[in-house]
Chain A
Amino acid sequence: MDIISAAIPMLLKGLQVTLYIFVIAIILGFLIGLVIALLRLAPSKILNWIAKVYVDAIRGTPFIVQLFFIYFGVNSLHLVSLNNTTAGIVTVAINAGAYFAEIIRAGIQSIDKGQTEAARSIGFTGAQTMRYVVLPQAFRRMLPTITNQSIISLKDTSLLSVIGIADLTQQGQIQASATFEAFKIWLAVGVIYFIIIYLLTILANFIERRIQLR
């Protein structure tokens, strides 16, 4: 047992890195998703096309390829120099962004056309209608799917260990090879991921209940 208790502080350090990357990436990813969704629904054909290409490209390629493309591929051009943490955050963000874009687009389209017409007839601009009438209602409907995608993205961060980010998974690897206690260490890593995701689910349910009440 003392092997585990000695490893736990290191694993928690890894968890901090995981959560740090996750929180920044998921916020960025949501903003990317919102922008892409609005481009997708914009009246301009070119903007629709750009958004569609983005979503298709991300959905059609594995996460790990995207990660290598950004960390090794983009860095090899010597135009920018991304450290591994930045590359990791960017990859998770653009990956989640594509999926969020589809969730948000579907959410917006699920809101009855009459809502937009009522808002426009009062004199709201298109942007005000989106902000005050359509998005607040769409967001309520999207919340379960957003939670789902966030959980997937959180788990995707474990792949960042392959570019040497000292996240929870990477720390697990270090501890497992240092202690030769692979079973216990990986069980502990799994339990930590599970607890974090479980807490995330509880938080999402809480938010959902609160907005459903009204």
Chain B
Amino acid sequence: MSMIKVKNLRKSFGKIEVLKDINAEVQEQEVVCVIGPSGSGKSTFLRCLNRLEEISGGEVVINGQDITDNKININKVRQEVGMVFQQFNLFPHKTVLENITMGPIKIRTTDKSAADKLAFELLDKVGLREKANSFPGELSGGQKQRVAIARALAMNPKIMLFDEPTSALDPEMVGDVLEVMKQLAKEGMTMVVVTHEMGFAREVGDRVIFMDGGYIVEENEPNEMFSNPQHKRTKEFLSKVL
């Protein structure tokens, strides 16, 4: 079943067209990695999938709902689509536990004890139970990102979007975060990951999308893509990053 369906997606910032004509589909339980040079539009593409960017044209259908239709309740759709940011964006005035329980308590009106129980389960999953009462400022980058993943998972989303989740991390922190994402993929989460981690894309990705200049230039199954790229641009890019 198709969880994400993008048709003729266009996005402009003023006169600059960042996404030109994007067509893509992501199936349930599929892990799709989006790679490409900076400025290729890959982050913008991801941010269109939960309408953090207003969409200039085309269609984006998330779990059967066209989110370009202004009649749909975008807040409802976003509850089903978790997002993890490069800069973590944890709420610094809340503890780790409160960061995770805030969504369930305020949006789902889950009672506090049930929300806490869920939060501790998620903290176990990302290996940070002992940090429940810390504030984000007391955590390392890798720990922050794992809390951010737990926070997104607390809404029990059907899709997870990752926007360069390891790009702001010290190298020795990257592994822990990728490990959590791998586990998530194994559990059957539908994931779209914008990343520079080619190792992760190869190992965990079911499919890799290469973007450049606002277009999807090439997409393929990872091994095929990395060992036998078809397009000139893909070859150039991969020769620099691999």
Contacts and interface: CB of A to CB of B under 8 A. Distances in A.
Contact of B85 (A117, A136, A140): A117
Interface string A101-136: 000000000001011011111111100100011001
Interface residues of A, number: 19
Given A122-B78, A125-B75, A117 B106 contact: no
Given A120-B52, A122-B79, A124-B103, A140 B93 contact: yes
Contacts of A121: 50, 52, 78, 81-83, 152
A122 B79 CA distance: 6
Given A114-B87, A214-B135, A122 B93 contact: no
Contacts of B85: 114, 117-118
A161 interface: no
Given A117-B52, A118-B85, A124 B75 contact: yes
B155 A122 contact: yes
Interface in B72-97: 75-76, 78-79, 81-83, 85, 87, 89-93
B204 interface: no
B114 interface: no
Nearest to B78: A123
A75 interface: no
A120 B102 CA distance: 12
A158 interface: no
Interface in A132-183: 132-133, 136-137, 140
Contacts, number: 60
Contacts of B139: none
Contacts of A140: 93
Interface residues of B, number: 25
A115 B79 contact: no
Interface in A73-122: 112, 114-115, 117-122
Given A115-B89, A132-B102, A133-B91, A124 B82 contact: no
B146 interface: no
Contact of A137 (B93, B106, B152): B93
A121 B48 CA distance: 11
A112 B86 CA distance: 14
A73 B82 CA distance: 57
Contacts of B151: 122
Contacts of B93: 136-137, 140, 214
A118 B91 contact: yes
Q: What is the interface of chain A mostly: helix, strand, loop, or mixed?
A: helix
A123 B79 contact: yes
- Most chain B CB atoms below 10 A, which of A115, A118, A137, A140: A118
A68 to B, nearest CB: 43
B107 interface: yes
B52 to A, nearest CB: 6
Contact of B106 (A114, A120, A128, A136): A128
Contact of B92 (A124, A125, A128, A137): A137
Contacts of A128: 106-107
A121 B91 CA distance: 13
Contacts of B75: 120, 123-125
Contact of A115 (B78, B91, B152): B91
A124 B107 contact: yes
Interface of B: 50, 52, 75-76, 78-79, 81-83, 85, 87, 89-93, 102-103, 106-107, 135, 148, 151-152, 155
24 contacts: A112-B89, A114-B89, A115-B89, A118-B89, A119-B91, A120-B52, A120-B75, A121-B83, A122-B78, A122-B79, A122-B82, A122-B103, A123-B75, A123-B78, A123-B103, A124-B75, A124-B103, A125-B75, A132-B106, A133-B91, A136-B93, A137-B91, A137-B92, A140-B93
Given A112-B87, A123-B107, 14 more contacts: A115-B89, A118-B85, A118-B89, A119-B91, A120-B52, A122-B155, A123-B75, A123-B78, A123-B155, A124-B106, A125-B75, A128-B106, A136-B93, A137-B91
The 3 closest A-B pairs by CB, nearest first: A123-B79, A118-B89, A121-B83
